[in-house]
């Protein structure tokens, strides 16, 4: 079972139970897993570097470890597996020390619902979940959104179902 499937299935279960805050956090955590690992070794460390002398030292150490890990993964052999393991442990230690700094307590962690709520202050947030646990689009949970009507939701739901079956709605570009 893929990680993305676990996240979307957890989202569906939480929505069914009415735990909407948990649902949003779970789907965001699932989405973040992939992106965190993808960007984990190539970090923007400017904010950490500018925060203090300690932050600058930790940023430099993390950057050096990230470079060494990237190099080790690029040339990975059996002999290097111990190096990779040791570098990973050092990397995790530096990340733990960064998280001890008050402004960086959530460094490289997925955002909490309270953080995500701030993103919605400027306008609506729409979460589309494609879990096989809740494949009937008829049971979709709709919340009122200013400027968006129920008919539009049903129309979008129908288009998504048809798209899943192989039909490309006008104006939608297949990936």
User: Tokens 């909407």 belong to which residue?
Assistant: 20
101-to-50, 59, 107, 108, 121 alpha-carbon distances in Å: 13, 12, 9, 13, 27
Count the alpha carbons within 13 Å of 164 in the hemisphere toward its beta carbon.
12
Q: So what's the pLDDT on residue 100?
A: 96
Instruction: Summarize pLDDT for 23-47 with one digit per residue, the tens.
Output: 888 877 776 665 555 555 456 688 8
Instruction: Report whether pLDDT(7) > 90.
Output: no
> Of 21-25, 96-100, 129-133, 159-163, where does the model show the most confidence?
96-100
pTM: 0.51
> Of 6-15, 121-130, 162-171, where does the model show the most confidence?
6-15
- How high is the mean pLDDT of the chain? 72
Q: Residue 150 — pLDDT band, cuts 50, 70, 90?
A: very low
Q: Give the residue-averaged pLDDT of 52-77.
A: 84
Q: Which two tokens stand for residue 91?
A: 């990397």
Q: What is the DSSP string of 73-135?
A: HHT--GGGHHHHHHHHHHHHHHHHHHHTSGGGTTTTSPPPHHHHHHHGGGS--------GGG-
Contact 128, 137 (CB under 8 A): no
The C-alpha atoms of residue 170 and residue 173 are separated, in whole angstroms, by 8
**CB atoms inside a 10 Å sphere around CB 145:** 13
**Dihedral, CA atoms, 161, 163, 167, 172, nearest 10 degrees?**
140
The C-alpha atoms of residue 17 and residue 114 are separated, in whole angstroms, by 20
Q: So what's the pLDDT on residue 121?
A: 82
Q: Structural domain boundaries of the chain?
A: 3-132, 136-175
Contact partners, residue 57, CB within 8 Å, separation at least 6: none
Q: Residue 165 — pLDDT band, cuts 50, 70, 90?
A: low
Q: So what's the pLDDT on residue 156?
A: 57
Q: Give the residue-averaged pLDDT of 106-122.
A: 81
């Amino acid at each position: 079972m893929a990680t993305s499937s676990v996240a979307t299935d957890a989202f569906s279960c939480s929505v069914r139970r009415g735990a909407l805050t948990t649902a949003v956090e779970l789907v965001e955590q699932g989405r973040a897993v992939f992106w965190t690992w993808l960007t984990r070794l190539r970090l923007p460390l400017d904010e950490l570097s500018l925060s203090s002398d300690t932050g600058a030292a930790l940023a430099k150490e993390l950057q050096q470890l990230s470079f060494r890990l990237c190099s080790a993964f690029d040339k990975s052999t059996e002999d290097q597996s111990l190096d990779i393991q040791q570098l990973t442990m050092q990397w995790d230690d530096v990340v733990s020390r960064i998280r001890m700094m008050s402004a960086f307590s959530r460094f490289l962690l997925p955002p909490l619902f309270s953080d995500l709520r701030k993103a919605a202050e400027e306008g609506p947030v729409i979460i589309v979940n494609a879990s096989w646990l809740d494949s009937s689009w008829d049971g979709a949970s709709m919340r009122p959104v200013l400027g968006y009507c129920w008919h539009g939701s049903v129309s979008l739901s129908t288009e998504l179902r048809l798209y899943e079956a192989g039909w490309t709605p006008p104006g939608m570009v297949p990936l």
